[in-house]
Amino acid sequence: MSGDLNQANILRNKVNRAASKLKYNFYQTQIAAMHESGSHDWCKHMKTIMGLKTNGKSCMQGLANKTTDGDCGLLTNTMNDFFVSVSDHLPRLNKSHKVFDVNEELPDQYVISVCTIF
């Protein structure tokens, strides 16, 4: 029984170390892309990386006040109706097509192989 617990702890630690490395690689890539994109979007990218989100309701509230007497639900429905009308002439997507497989496009630096864990 204790051997199973020790093995489980060893595997948990390996997975946690691999996850930490993946997080590090991910954020390094994000920061490198941010530096390459230019300074005008720097603050926006930093907030995204840090997980800070602005409250979108306050931004939309001003528009709702001007167009729909402050009703954000009505504003949302109006915007949705507009975007639907823009794409009405386009053919519907055929759902029988093969679904895009994300795993085919992932860089190796973001994938943990079974060999890495064991």
- pLDDT tens, 70-89? 888 888 889 889 988 988 88
Averaged confidence pLDDT in the chain: 77
Distance CA 108, CA 118 (A): 18
Apex 51 CA angle, 14 and 60, nearest 5: 150
Least Cα distance to 42 among 33, 53, 51 occurs for 33
Q: What is the pTM of this model?
A: 0.37
pLDDT band, residue 59 (cuts 50/70/90): low
* pLDDT of res. 54: 56
- How is residue 55 written in tokens? 């409250």
pLDDT band, residue 26 (cuts 50/70/90): confident
pLDDT band, residue 102 (cuts 50/70/90): low
* pLDDT of res. 100: 52
